[in-house]
Amino acid sequence: MPGPLGQYALVARDLGSAFVAAVLGAGERQLARAPRTAALIADWPGDAAADALAMRFNAALHALARRGDDAALGALYAMRAGDFDAVIGNAMATADGFIADWMRLPPQTNEVGRAAAIMAALMTLRGIHDLPVELLELGASAGLNLNLARYAYDLGGVQVGRRDSPVRITPEWRGQAPLARPVEIVGTRGVDLRPLAAADQQARERLMAYVWADEPERAERLRHALAVADDVPPSIACDDILRWLPAELAHPPDRGICRVVIHTMALQYCSPATRAAVTDAMAAVDYPLARIGFEWTDARDAVHLTLTTYPDGDVRHLATCHAYGNWIDWHG
């Protein structure tokens, strides 16, 4: 049975990236050449899939290629072809410590392609709570999705957002288009245990490394989103969700505002107790509140976009999505 790298190679191929699948496959076969990395993976204390161990490894290799110190690795990434086992094996042997240290830190994708699903959910929410919204994001990373009102979207032919925005998000839309409703965002703030400052060059490189190397359009979109963040820096607290969220929810929003808690591929890194505490904290609120989640199912066989409204706690499965938002299968 393949290890976590080999297992996710199959997932990567299904998600459309033969290159990442090849990188992970070679990494699995060459693990013996990187003893620190191999030991880290073998002794990983948590769930390797839930902790995205393979994506951490993939990003570490991409970061090495982007640094330019390894000419052969750089050529492999530039051409997206070559002797994967030889090149990646040599890179792993040379940079074993770098790879292991990188993998100890949680992923930081902050994929703005997921903002299309959040925007569609906000349009749906407007039909339930006909109010402007205030966004609170859990696991906000660099906060790029807090700027979602400043991006342009094509949601199944429905044009929303800022049409002159350099950040254009046009997922493949499956199913009926969402109903076009106005989305007015009056405030945004987020929380992360290790927030990234979008203006910091090292943080930008970390985000870029997590973009799959054979998806240049994602990298270009990320560059534009970072430029937007330069003009409108997101507000992100460095704190634990268990402290931050109850404190935020304890203070109701201004009258006539619906507060919305959003999270995209973030709660999978939290313990079951933390996830339960998030649900309990929101269920205790008695003002207009909603929750939009873009997360793997418990079985990790699909990514679901869900909308939960309070105080009734009604949960709607709005869509099944590609993990990075490349396509959205809309159920409405």
- What tens digit of pLDDT does each residue of 262-294 get? 999 999 888 899 999 999 999 999 899 999 999
Give the contacts of 119 (CB within 8 A, at least 6 positions apart).
Answer: 148, 153, 155, 160, 161, 183
Whether residue 247 sits in one domain with residue 157: yes
pLDDT tens digit sequence for 200-248: 999 999 999 999 999 999 999 999 999 999 999 999 999 999 999 999 9
For residue 1, pLDDT over 80 is answered with no
Is residue 93 domain-shared with residue 176, that is, in the same domain?
no
Instruction: Provide mean pLDDT across the span 110-115.
Output: 96
Q: Which pLDDT does position 331 carry in this prediction? A: 94
Boundary-marking domain end, from 54, 81, 103: 103
What range defines the domain where residue 175 resides?
A: 112-330
In 3D space, the residue among 277, 265, 262, 274 whose CA is nearest the CA of residue 106 turns out to be: 265
Measuring CA to CA, which residue among 193, 272, 269, 200 is closest to residue 229?
200
- How far, rounded to the nearest angstrom, does the alpha carbon of residue 82 sit from its chain's CA centroid? 30
Total number of domains in the chain: 2
* pLDDT, average across residues 9-14: 92
> 244 and 264 share a domain?
yes
* CA gap 12, 18 in Å, rounded: 7
Instruction: For 26, list phi and psi in degrees, rounded to 5.
Output: -65, -40
Q: What is the pLDDT at residue 147?
A: 98
Q: Tell which phi-psi region holds residue 313, choosing left (phi > 0), alpha (psi between -120 and 50) or beta.
A: left
Residues 99 and 122 in one domain: no
Entry field: residues in the chain: 332
Do 156 and 38 fall into the same domain?
Answer: no
Same domain, 96 and 139: no
Distance CA 232, CA 165 (A): 13
Residues 61 and 186 in one domain: no
- For position 248, what pLDDT does the model report? 97
Residues 245 and 270 in one domain: yes
Q: Tell me: do 90 and 64 sit in the same domain.
A: yes
CATH number of the domain enclosing 138 = 3.40.50
